Amino acid sequence: MATPRPSGSRKPNEKTTLTPVPDPESEAEPIPGPKQGPKRGSRRRAAGALKSVPPVDPAAGLQGAIMTGDAPAGPGMPTGVAGEAAGGGGGPARTSGSGGGGATTPNGPENRRSGWWKIALVVALAAGCLWFFMGRGAKGKGAPDAAKAAGRPSPVSVASASRGDIPIYLAGLGSVVPLNIVTVKSRVDGQLMEVLFREGQHVESGQLLARIDPRPFDAQLAQVEGAMARDQALLKNAQVDLERYRTLLKQDSIASQQIDTQEALVRQYEGVVKADQGQVDNAKLQLAYSRITAPIGGRVGLRIVDAGNMIHASDPNGLVVIAQLQPVAVLFSIPEDSLPPVMAKLRSGRPLTVEVFDREGKKKLATGVLQTVDNQIDPTTGTVRLKALRE
């Protein structure tokens, strides 16, 4: 017979299974269990009959046990078998394990819960080990540097106190520009016969850069020189006639009106000769313009026109650009609020030093002196431009 466990000590959601223990005097054959109806006042309804019970030791006596999920297993207890119960209103129940103490089924909630806890514990231990070893590795790497820094002596410098002016710096964005920049153009029309400079070459003022075909200008010069020679001959003849007429007038041989007419003719030829002289000078100038020279000294840029092309005085691009880089100028802007102290220094005659740095402000490029200040302030930005020359 089976002894039920008091209902007051039963845990919620606990499976209860009845394991009947046969009478030692009974036979070993399976004994069908009597049908039991539902018990009033109990929290659960369970009834059924075991299909079969294995032989048990008669010395064990009649024992009953309730198989629960948390019953401790007792040593030396008879082993029960799985059974299936059915009866008045009850549901199926399963049991297995030791007869003296129950054990939960392998798929029960307690085993599943304990399995999850084990997995979580293993993951936590693995994470802790990883964090521990990584922390030690990082500390090991930084330890030599810290020890080295701790052992290094700190430099200490001593200076005596003194009174003096503290320099005040005004920073501004600027650009380096040539002091002079010239676009070399032809002053006459003609064919470019020869280019006598290399791109990027430094040239001096007056150096020959290119040559235009001079033959048309030579012909024009010869033409005006011939006209001037003719007019000079006519002038000389008129002057000689004037001297003769003056002699005859003294002898009272001619009228004075003839003298006046000859004097006017001489003055007319003198004017013609002067006009011819101007044409000759112009022709010589045109011939000189066929030789293109550098107006300033500096560095030439890229060639714009190649030899063999026709060039004109009206060409907008010219032949080449020359930039004077010695000395070089720097244009920069400062706020208009900083202009009064700068103007005060300039009026006093004291030079203001200008230092030029690169874009990052780390490398010093040049040092110069402030040259002048622009005569107007930009109203859109509220800044004024200043110009400095490199020393």
Q: What is the pTM of this model?
A: 0.50
Mean of per-residue pLDDT scores for the chain: 74
Residues 79 and 22 in one domain: yes
Q: Please, what's the largest Cα pairwise distance for the chain?
A: 203
Residues 4 and 101 in one domain: yes
Residues 64 and 193 in one domain: no
CB-based contacts of 148, cutoff 8 Å, min separation 6:
none
- Please compute the mean of the pLDDT values over residues 342-348 and round it to a whole number: 88
Q: What is the pLDDT at residue 21? A: 44
Residues forming beta bridges with residue 300, ordered by sequence position: 322
229, amino acid identity: A
Among the candidates 72, 95, 110, a domain finishes at 110
Number of domains forming the structure of the chain: 3
Of how many residues is the chain composed? 391
Q: Which of 8-17, 76-85, 138-147, 228-237 has the lowest mean pLDDT?
A: 76-85
Residues 277 and 315 in one domain: no
Among the candidates 110, 138, 154, a domain finishes at 110
Does residue 117 lie within any of the structural domains? no
- Please compute the mean of the pLDDT values over residues 107-125 and round it to a whole number: 70
Q: What is the pLDDT at residue 17? A: 44
Q: What is the pLDDT at residue 113? A: 59
Q: Is there a contact between 90 and 48 (Cβ–Cβ < 8 Å)?
A: yes
CB-based contacts of 85, cutoff 8 Å, min separation 6:
18, 46, 47, 48, 49, 50, 92, 93
pLDDT higher for 144 or 291? Answer: 291
Place of tokens 């540097």: 145
Residues 198 and 334 in one domain: yes
Q: What is the pLDDT at residue 275? A: 94
Q: What's the DSSP call for residue 383? A: E
Residues forming beta bridges with residue 383, ordered by sequence position: 335, 378
Q: What is the pLDDT at residue 148? A: 56
Percent of the chain exceeding pLDDT 90 equals 35
Q: Is there a contact between 291 and 206 (Cβ–Cβ < 8 Å)?
A: no
308 conformational bin, left if phi > 0, alpha if psi -120 to 50, beta if neither: left
Does residue 348 lie within any of the structural domains? yes
Does residue 153 lie within any of the structural domains? no
Residues 232 and 346 in one domain: no
Residues 99 and 3 in one domain: yes
Residues 95 and 36 in one domain: yes
Q: What angle do CA 224, 230, 233 make, to 5 degrees?
A: 140
Q: What is the chain's alpha carbon radius of gyration, rounded to the nearest angstrom?
A: 62
Does residue 314 lie within any of the structural domains? yes
Question: How far is residue 264's CA from residue 250's CA, in Å, rounded to a whole number?
Answer: 19
Residues 264 and 353 in one domain: no
Is 80 exceeded by the pLDDT of residue 26? no
Is 50 exceeded by the pLDDT of residue 25? no
Question: Could you write out the DSSP letters of every residue in 47-109?
Answer: ----S------GGG-S--EE--TTPPPPTTPPB--------SSPPP----BBSSSB---TTSH
- Over the stretch 125-140, which tens digit does the pLDDT of each residue have? 888 777 776 655 544 5
Q: What is the pLDDT at residue 114? A: 64
Residues 369 and 274 in one domain: no
Does residue 14 lie within any of the structural domains? yes
- Please compute the mean of the pLDDT values over residues 70-95 and round it to a whole number: 38
Q: What is the pLDDT at residue 150? A: 55
CB-based contacts of 104, cutoff 8 Å, min separation 6:
69, 70, 110, 111
Residues 177 and 321 in one domain: yes
Does residue 151 lie within any of the structural domains? no
- Please compute the mean of the pLDDT values over residues 115-123 and round it to a whole number: 80
Among the candidates 242, 260, 289, a domain finishes at 289
Does residue 139 lie within any of the structural domains? no
- Over the stretch 355-378, which tens digit does the pLDDT of each residue have? 898 888 888 888 889 988 998 999
Question: How far is residue 63's CA from residue 3's CA, in Å, rounded to a whole number?
Answer: 8
Does residue 131 lie within any of the structural domains? no
Domain that holds residue 274: 214-289
Residues 235 and 357 in one domain: no
What's the pLDDT band for 23 if we cut at 50, 70, 90?
very low
Is 50 exceeded by the pLDDT of residue 124? yes
Question: How far is residue 20's CA from residue 56's CA, in Å, rounded to a whole number?
Answer: 11
